């Protein structure tokens, strides 16, 4: 009895090769307040971001990055997979996909800040700044949210 084995590739090799190319080079997407050198009354914007993200003895925690990440984890995983699938099919480059994701994530975080993050401000703070929206005074913190692919 003779045995005949035939190997057919229905595209798996191309998918694996594309996945290897996407993972090569250690490219990372960073999102947040990435530069801390802009001055905000003697304190960098990065320091202001950290004060609010984690809280201090006098400033309550108002997480605009970690809480956004946790609240949107599943939806963002789905978006991430869809964008990376487009890159694997060669429709876009890995860097184009990461830039698209970065811009999307920045917009989501900025919207979270604009929508207001609890706890509510003290009445004295509202009178001082003229607004009841936490984390927005001059807009410098919100506009400092950015991304970097590298």
What is the average pLDDT score of the chain? 85
What pLDDT, on the 0 to 100 scale, is given for residue 50? 92
The whole-model pTM stands at: 0.78
In a domain, 44, yes or no: yes
The domain in which residue 84 lies consists of: 31-149
In a domain, 10, yes or no: no
Tell me, yes or no, whether 83 lies in a domain: yes
In a domain, 114, yes or no: yes
Bigger pLDDT: 113 vs 26: 113
Q: SS3 for 18-57, per residue?
A: HHHHHHCCCCCEEEEECCCCCECCCCEHHHHHHHHHHCCC
12 part of a folded domain:
no
Kindly state whether residue 139 falls inside one of the protein's structural domains: yes
Distance CA 118, CA 61 (A): 9
Residue 19 has pLDDT above 60, yes or no: no
Does position 122 have pLDDT exceeding 90, yes or no?
A: no
Q: Give pLDDT, residue 18.
A: 59
User: Does 7 reside within a domain?
Assistant: no
pLDDT at 7 over 60: yes
pLDDT of 117 over the 70 cut: yes
| Cα(101)–Cα(106) distance, integer angstroms | 9
The answer to whether position 101 is within a domain reads yes
Q: How many domains does the chain have?
A: 1
Average pLDDT over every residue of 78-92: 91
Is 86 a residue whose pLDDT tops 90?
Answer: yes
Counting residues of the chain whose pLDDT is more than 90, the rounded percentage is 48
């Amino acid at each position: 009895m003779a045995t005949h084995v035939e190997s057919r590739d229905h595209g798996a090799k191309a998918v694996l090769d594309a996945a290897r190319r996407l993972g090569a080079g250690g490219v990372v997407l960073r999102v947040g307040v990435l530069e801390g050198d802009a001055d905000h009354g003697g304190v960098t914007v990065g320091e202001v971001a950290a004060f609010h993200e984690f809280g201090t003895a006098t400033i309550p925690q108002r997480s605009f990055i970690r809480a956004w990440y946790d609240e949107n984890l599943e939806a963002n995983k789905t978006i991430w997979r869809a964008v990376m699938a487009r890159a694997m099919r060669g429709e876009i480059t890995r860097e184009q996909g990461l830039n698209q994701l970065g811009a999307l994530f920045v917009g989501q975080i900025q919207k979270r800040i604009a929508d207001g993050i609890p706890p509510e401000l003290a009445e004295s703070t509202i009178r001082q700044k003229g607004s009841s929206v936490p984390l927005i005074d001059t807009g410098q913190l919100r506009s400092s949210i950015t991304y970097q692919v590298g």
